[in-house]
Amino acid sequence: MTATERLYYSDSHLIEFDARVIDVTDRVSGWTAVVLNRTAFYPTGGGQPSDTGTLNGARVVECIDDGEQGVLHVVQGAAPERGTIVHGRVDWPRRLDHMQQHTGQHILSQAFVTLFNAPTRSFRVLDTSCEIDIELQNPTAQIIERAVELANNVIWEDRAIVIRNVTSEEAAELPLRKEPAREGELRLIEIEGFDLTPCGGTHAYRTGEVGMIAVRSWERAKGLTRIEFVAGTRALADYRKANRSAREVAALFSTGRDDAPQLAAQMVEESKELHRQVRALEEIAAGVEAEKLLAAASQGVVTHVFEGRDAESLKKLAHALIEHPGTIALLGSRDGDTARLVFARSADAHGDMNALMREACTLLDGRGGGKPDLAQGGGKHVEKLHDALTHALTLLNAAP
Ligand SMILES: [Zn+2]
């Protein structure tokens, strides 16, 4: 026997009620837990978050099922006193939202059982969507959309949803979608002619109240298929968001929403082709640049610090330089917050680029290395790039 009579069991649409305060306890940081002799507030449980609302002037921020101790209403503000009668009010938009998600889950879960014999293993209401984990081996868009279609047909048929209280013996004779989690008298939720399952949550009066169900995404997770869905007002909110995104993308292509994917795909292809062309031009440019740098270098040693060149571009230039015999390239770049270095030498030149790179990188507070003929590295002390190159050059000249 529990201390609190649960009014939400018999009427999920009851949002105002009067009750007697039977216990008040102070909790952490000024929050107080109030126990009533009866409540319409649904406490967190079964994958469904708790209701919120008010008790007289105090704000109910959460409700917790404390078993035989009753339902704890966690309040902020002036808590009512023990023995007084309070007026409770449940936030209806939140309750409606939760009922739509929760009832929607019953319908969607049964749709997967009906069509694919794929039972639901768990369910969660998240901030803006919901998740079910089901035993579906090979999910495809087509399979999932068939279940979504059946679920929406059941919603639009506006079937009655009935609460049946039965004994466990009676329940054993009934075709329940899932095994009851407890013994004794059971509360069954029946969606007329479609689904029968034990549940202690709040449900719509009729399936039509769920509005609609849409699946946002799915993935394989821990041997199950995790399906993210939205029902009711969440489906509308999600549609608005998706529509806004699609229209914003379409506006970038000066086209309508439905034509945007094709134009976007076309642009990606064009972009890939442009990248190929740019890479080819870079090869040519690196060759020309190498010749100019070599013309200005003394004894085949090129040292230079560039602005905003990435590692790839530096390497390309180094390769173009060492195609010329007797060449050593000590190159640096200020690439945003990063100092980059590439050292290279042609096959007939002398010097250990790997050793030079390690020495130079210590000045940059970074790391680097490679082979005797090609090494790369970098660090965060961009202002020391010149020092690092000078140091490397000095070591190179000092080598026997
Ligand atoms: Zn339920």
- Pairing mode, strands 71-76 and 58-65: antiparallel
Cα 202 to ligand 1 centroid, rounded to whole Å = 6
Instruction: Report d(CA 377, CA 354) in Å as an integer.
Output: 10
- At 64-118, the pLDDT tens digits run 998 888 999 999 988 899 999 999 999 999 999 999 999 999 999 999 999 999 9
pLDDT attached to residue 31: 82
Q: How far is the CA of 204 from the centre of ligand 1 (A)?
A: 10
Range scoring the smallest mean pLDDT among 25-29, 82-86, 220-224, 245-249: 25-29
Q: What string of H, E and C letters represents the secondary structure of the chain?
A: CCCCEEHHHHCCCCCEEEEEEEEEEECHHHCEEEEECEECCCCCECCECCCCEEECCEEEEEEEECHHHCEEEEEECCCCCCCCEEEEEECHHHHHHHHHHHHHHHHHHHHHHHHHCCCEEEEEECCCCEEEEECCCCCCHHHHHHHHHHHHHHHHCCCEEEEEEECHHHHHCCCCCCCCCCCCCEEEEEECCCEEEECCCCCCCEHHHHCCEEEEEEEEECCEEEEEEEEHHHHHHHHHHHHHHHHHHHHHCCCCHHHHHHHHHHHHHHHHHHHHHHHHHHHHHHHHHHHHHHHHCECCEEEEEEECCCHHHHHHHHHHHHCCCCCEEEEEEEECCEEEEEEEECCCCCCCHHHHHHHHHHHCCCEEEECCCEEEEEECCHHHHHHHHHHHHHHHHHCC
Q: Once rounded to an integer, what is the mean pLDDT over residues 194-210? A: 95
With a cut of 90, say whether residue 30 has pLDDT above it: no
**pTM for this structure?**
0.76
Does the pLDDT at position 29 exceed 70? no
Confidence at residue 39, expressed as pLDDT on a 0 to 100 scale: 97
Q: What residues contact residue 166 under an 8 Å CB cut-off, 6+ apart?
A: 174, 185, 186, 188
Interatomic CA distance for residues 73 and 51, integer angstroms: 10
Question: Comparing 17-31, 144-158, 362-376, which segment has the lowest mean pLDDT?
Answer: 17-31
d(CA 172, ligand 1 centre) in Å: 19
pLDDT on residue 216: 97
| pLDDT at residue number 292 | 94
**338 CA distance to ligand 1 middle (Å):** 56
- Residue (of 328, 337, 334) closest to 374 by Cα position: 328
pLDDT tens sequence across 256-277: 999 999 999 999 999 999 999 9
Please give the distance, rounded to the nearest whole angstrom, from the Cα atom of residue 161 to the centre of ligand 1: 11
pLDDT value of residue 357: 95
Longest dimension (CA), the chain: 98
Q: Which of 118, 100, 102 is closest to 110 using CA atoms?
A: 118
CA of 51 to the centre of ligand 1 (A): 15
With left for phi above 0 and alpha for psi between -120 and 50, is residue 300 left, alpha or beta?
left
- Angle subtended at Cα 125 by Cα 121 and Cα 126, rounded to the nearest 5 degrees: 120
CA-based torsion, 344, 349, 354, 357: positive or negative: negative
Contact 341, 357 (CB under 8 A): yes
In this structure, the number of other CB atoms found within 10 A of the CB of residue 387 comes to 13
In the reported structure, the alpha carbon of residue 130 is separated from the centroid of ligand 1 by a whole-number distance in angstroms of: 14
Say whether pLDDT at 1 is over 60. Answer: no
Confidence tier at 182 by pLDDT (50, 70, 90): confident
Q: How far is the CA of 300 from the centre of ligand 1 (A)?
A: 80
Q: Residue 60 Cα, ligand 1 centroid: separation in angstroms?
A: 23
Q: How far is the CA of 22 from the centre of ligand 1 (A)?
A: 28
Ligand 1 center–CA 157 separation, angstroms: 19
Q: What is the mean pLDDT of residues 274-293?
A: 93
CA 203 to centroid of ligand 1, rounded, Å: 6
Centre of ligand 1 to C-alpha 79, Å, is: 31
Give the pLDDT score at 241: 97
User: In whole numbers, what is the pLDDT of the chain averaged over residues?
Assistant: 93
The answer to whether the Cα torsion of 82, 88, 94, 97 is positive or negative is positive
- Interval between CA 56 and ligand 1 midpoint (Å): 29
Q: Is the pLDDT at 298 greater than 70, yes or no?
A: yes
Q: How far is the CA of 33 from the centre of ligand 1 (A)?
A: 26
Return d(Cα 379, Cα 113) in angstroms, integer: 58
